[in-house]
């Protein structure tokens, strides 16, 4: 399991393969978990989700950004997607990776880009979620969040339960809308829990802390055991259903997503799209090796 995960994480970082994948279209089974390569096809997927009472958080995919020109192009694509949310009138917000808009190029340049994005989203009354990446980018992401929130309220971020520091971060960000996740990156024992049961315990602890806080809580998990425990907790604590939501990835446990929405829980699906789908898909294979079957069936059918 660990070897398989490391293998696909390594593939996700392979820039030549990522470049080649842009010419393939959605192949290797990626079409199951990526909602199209352009805005029009993605929006059709979002409309279908909305018809089932499900909102969306849209990710305009992009990887391997090393120049200001690449970052500016990515920013323009995000701004175009924001405008399309307004034009299509869908129930959706956006998730943005700061490395995609220049965090590894220049901090101030990235801050300027995300300020432009959050300002545009504010005009449309759209929320922006700053996706959390690996540990090396964590503090910079929180620093940018702090800077943004001096002027805007329509922005939040992600906290990963496998990191030791996350409980303190959740306490500090008690007034902020947070997406709580277990965590998808491989981090060292110096900064993160290594055992699944430790991550699960900390995840549930963080959920309970933030549910008791003023900030809105997005609980992003496919783990039905965690979901059932959250249901019981909010009932015991009399936490209103409009104070939190469940989230899952596009293409995963679709029937459970619909069922939770039918039960009256707020639900949002993470909807990635774009030609830059390869690295995202490899990370999904790393998280859930059973998805390798999807890829193999796709290759055989071709």
- Whether 123 is catalytic: no
CB 59 within 8 A of CB 273: yes
Stated as kind and residue range, the H or E segment containing 136 is none
What is the arithmetic mean of pLDDT over 88-108?
Answer: 97
Instruction: Determine the 3-state secondary structure of 278 from DSSP.
Output: helix
139-175 per-position pLDDT tens digit: 999 999 999 999 999 999 999 999 999 999 999 999 9
Please choose, from the candidates 174, 187, 179, 252, the residue with its C-alpha nearest in 3D space to the C-alpha of residue 213. 174
4-13, 128-137, 180-189, range with the lowest pLDDT: 4-13
Its pTM stands at 0.88
Which residues contact residue 186 at a Cβ distance below 8 angstroms, ignoring those fewer than 6 apart?
5, 6, 9
- Class of residue 281 by CB neighbours under 10 A (exposed 0-12, middle 13-18, buried 19+): buried
**Structure token pair of residue 132:** 């959390």
Please choose, from the candidates 74, 220, 235, the residue with its C-alpha nearest in 3D space to the C-alpha of residue 157. 220
pLDDT at 28: 57
Q: Which residues are annotated as a binding site?
A: 97, 132, 160, 182-184, 196, 221-222, 283-284
pLDDT at 6: 64
**What distance, in Å, lies between the first and last C-alpha atoms of the chain?**
27
Q: Which residues are annotated as a binding site for FAD?
A: 132, 160, 182-184, 196, 221-222
- Class of residue 50 by CB neighbours under 10 A (exposed 0-12, middle 13-18, buried 19+): middle
- Whether 131 is catalytic: yes
Q: Which residues are annotated as a binding site for substrate?
A: 97, 283-284
Catalytic hit among 59, 169, 177, 179: 179
Tell me the C-alpha distance between 286 and 8, whole Å. 5
What is the β-pairing status of strands 244-249 and 155-160?
unpaired
Which residues contact residue 296 at a Cβ distance below 8 angstroms, ignoring those fewer than 6 apart?
29
Which residues contact residue 133 at a Cβ distance below 8 angstroms, ignoring those fewer than 6 apart?
97, 98, 99, 141, 185
12-16, 73-77, 133-137, 225-229, range with the lowest pLDDT: 12-16
109-132 per-position pLDDT tens digit: 999 999 999 999 999 999 999 999
Stated as kind and residue range, the H or E segment containing 154 is none
Residue 300 above 50 pLDDT?
no
pLDDT at 37: 86
Provide the percentage of residues in the chain whose pLDDT is more than 70. 83
**Structure token pair of residue 118:** 């959050």
Measured CA to CA in angstroms, residue 267 lies from 219, 236, 258 at distances of: 9, 20, 9
- Domains by residue range for the chain, with CATH: 35-273 (3.20.20.220)
Tell me the C-alpha distance between 163 and 256, whole Å. 28
pLDDT at 187: 87
Catalytic hit among 131, 169, 200, 276: 131
């Amino acid at each position: 399991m660990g070897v398989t995960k490391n293998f696909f994480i390594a593939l996700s970082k392979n820039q030549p393969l990522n470049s080649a994948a842009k010419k393939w279209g959605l192949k290797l089974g990626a079409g199951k978990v990526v909602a199209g390569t352009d805005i029009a096809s993605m929006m059709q997927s979002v409309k279908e989700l909305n018809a089932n009472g499900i909102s969306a958080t849209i990710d305009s995919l992009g990887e391997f950004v090393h120049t200001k020109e690449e970052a500016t192009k990515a920013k323009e694509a995000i701004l175009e997607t924001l405008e399309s949310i307004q034009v299509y009138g869908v129930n959706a917000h956006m998730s943005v990776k700061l490395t995609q808009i220049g965090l590894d190029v220049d901090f101030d340049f990235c801050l300027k880009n995300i300020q432009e994005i959050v300002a545009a989203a504010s005009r449309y009354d759209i929320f922006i979620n700053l996706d959390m990446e690996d540990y090396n980018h964590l503090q910079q992401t929180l620093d940018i969040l702090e800077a943004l929130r001096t002027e805007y309220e329509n922005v939040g971020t992600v906290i990963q339960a496998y990191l030791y520091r996350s409980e303190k971060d959740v306490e500090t960000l008690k007034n902020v809308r947070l997406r709580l996740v277990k965590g998808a990156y491989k981090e060292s024992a110096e900064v993160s829990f290594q055992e699944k049961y430790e991550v699960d315990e900390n995840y549930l602890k963080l959920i309970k802390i933030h549910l008791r806080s003023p900030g809105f809580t997005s609980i992003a998990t496919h783990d039905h055991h965690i979901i059932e425990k959250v249901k019981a907790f909010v009932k015991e604590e009399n936490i209103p259903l409009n104070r939190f939501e469940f989230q899952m990835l596009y293409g995963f446990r679709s029937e459970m997503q619909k069922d939770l929405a039918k039960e009256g829980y707020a639900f949002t699906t993470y909807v990635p799209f774009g030609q830059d789908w390869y690295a995202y898909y490899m990370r999904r294979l790393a998280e859930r090796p059973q998805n390798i079957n999807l890829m193999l069936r796709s290759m055989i059918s071709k």
